[in-house]
Structure 1
Amino acid sequence: MKKLVVAGKTIEDAVKSGLAQWNTTENRVKIQVLEQPSKGLFGLIGNKEAKVELEWIPDPIEEATVFLHDVFQSMHIDAAIESQESAEGVQLNISGNELGILIGRRGQTLDSLQYLTNIVANRYATSHVRIVLDAENFRDRRKQTLEELSDRLARRVIRTRKEVVLEPMSPQERKVIHSQLQNHPNVKTYSKGEDPNRRVVIALR
């Protein structure tokens, strides 16, 4: 844990000095008074300064971003991260060149990195934090692909009157399939199997 001990004529002076050294604000630190200031003989000799300890309060999103930059550096990837609030929590958008290696086959590498990033963030959070990673708008493009696949397979099920079992998918991708077909008049969906091999089944109603 990041800590700093500083002294000053008063407790307030000591705290201000510490905050200035870290270039931060009081709501980002825990403050513990180590020594109260005191005046010496005749108020002149042996004066003792106040001494405080500041302890840095880590921000989960900042720590997640630091973790990702470390990963990018080890993979020799030059990428930037932009944070934004989303319906699912906090979305970290990654931009840069040649991010295919970061996304992986059908987003599997990106999903794994997202899982690790959430572990790192929640290590520093006081309440659960949900982080979604996206790279070059991959999530939206993948969502559109899955929605189109859902409609195409639904038509096949109606035509052949045989259910279709999809390949294993992540919970997020299965949710896209279910949502796309939940109001379909002729087909229904359900999942079977256990993660990571859980699959969506499209069948006649």
Structure 2
Amino acid sequence: MKKIVASGKTIEDAVKSGLTELQVSAERVSVTVLEKPSKGLFGLIGVRAAKVELMLKPVPNQAAEAEPLVQTASVAAVDKSTAPAKDAILETERFIIEVARTMGLDITIARNDSKDGLVLALSGGGDLGMLIGRRGQTLDALQYLVNIVANRYSNSHLRIVLDAEDFRERRRKTLEDLSDRLAGHVIRTRKEVVLEPMAPHERKIIHSQLQNHAKVKTFSKGDEPNRRVVITLKS
């Protein structure tokens, strides 16, 4: 089987890079994480990029496999024309549980609706930090694959947000606190601050937190996946 190694700022970026190089969809490959990304203080200094191995499956439209965290986790092919959303969600939950069990984790899943989509909140025994990863990078990579699985089974587009131990809320609070601290730093030093590259939903948190600030403003610069938030003084 043909396989390649791809890298990127995050695991998701590395997977996307590999898919682009192979010119195939995610269902056509198996993914193995070789190296997780590592960053310096506040992510301003990159230390190590994420590295993944993508193996091309010999025949398309077979069982979908995903291996960013485990050796085997698969779902069967399905006729999307007759698949209601609730069945797609059930299959997605089975996929998540299979991934967790392969990692030695026994989890339960709660469903919650939000403005960003359906939230599947994971809880249970064991170290769920394995599913979260540094700054949520593993959780984001798994969420990416979960959305592929969900939409493989659904005849309408589904947006699923994957959470574990309230990480998303804790991360939001961390980013809001960071925004306030860096705004104070900009005011004291009168120098702008450029943050690490962030996913769009995390950049949105920074912008929202400071949008009504009296002395600083924010904007984004750069191209995905290296787009960054800049905090600077208002003129």
Shared fold per TM-score greater than 0.5: yes
Q: Where does residue 171 of structure 1 map in the other structure? A: 200
Taking the aligned partners of 1:56 and 1:171, their CA distance within structure 2 comes to 33
**Residues 135-179 of structure 1: CA distance to partner in whole angstroms, max 9, x if unpaired?**
001111111111010001001111111100111111111111011
Per-residue deviation, 1:95:
0.3
- The alignment status of 1:95 with 2:123, answered yes or no, reads yes
Residues 90-129 of structure 1: matches in 2 within 5 Å?
90-96=118-124, 97-129=126-158
C-alpha separation between the residues in 1 aligned to 2:151 and 2:83? Answer: 13
Which of 79, 83, 104 in structure 2 is aligned with 1:57?
83
Give the letter for the 2:170 counterpart.
R
Q: Does 1:75 align with 2:103?
A: yes
The answer to whether residue 191 in structure 2 is matched with residue 147 in structure 1 is: no
1:185-200 equivalences in 2 (<5 Å):
185-200=214-229
Select which of 52, 62, 66 maps to 2:94: 66
CA gap of 1:126–1:57, structure 2 versus 1, over 3 A, is: closer
Is contact 2:83–2:154 with CA below 8 Å preserved after alignment? no
CA distance in structure 2 between the partners assigned to 1:180 and 1:77 by the alignment? 35
TM-score by length of 1: 0.70
Question: Per-residue CA shift, 1:103-131, capped at 9, x if unaligned?
Answer: 00000000111111011111122221110
Q: Is the 8 A contact 2:83 2:155 kept in 1?
A: no
Query: CA–CA distance in 1 between the matches of 2:107 and 2:225?
Result: 29
TM-score (norm. length: structure 2): 0.61
CA drift at 1:56 = 6.9
Report how many aligned residue pairs link the two structures. Answer: 152
Residue by residue over 1:2-56, the C-alpha shift from the partner in whole angstroms, topping out at 9 and shown as x without a partner, is: xxxxxxxxxxxxxxxxxxxxxxxxxxxx9xxxxxxxxxxxxxxxxxxxxxxxx97
Secondary structure at the aligned position of 1:84 is classed as strand
Larger radius of gyration: 1
Distance 2:147 2:108 in 1: 18
Q: Which amino acid aligns with 1:166?
A: L
1:110 and 1:162 map into 2 onto residues whose CA distance is 34
Q: CA RMSD in A?
A: 1.7
Q: Report how far residue 196 of structure 1 moved.
A: 2.4
Tell me how far apart the structure 2 counterparts of residues 108 and 57 of structure 1 sit (CA, whole Å): 30
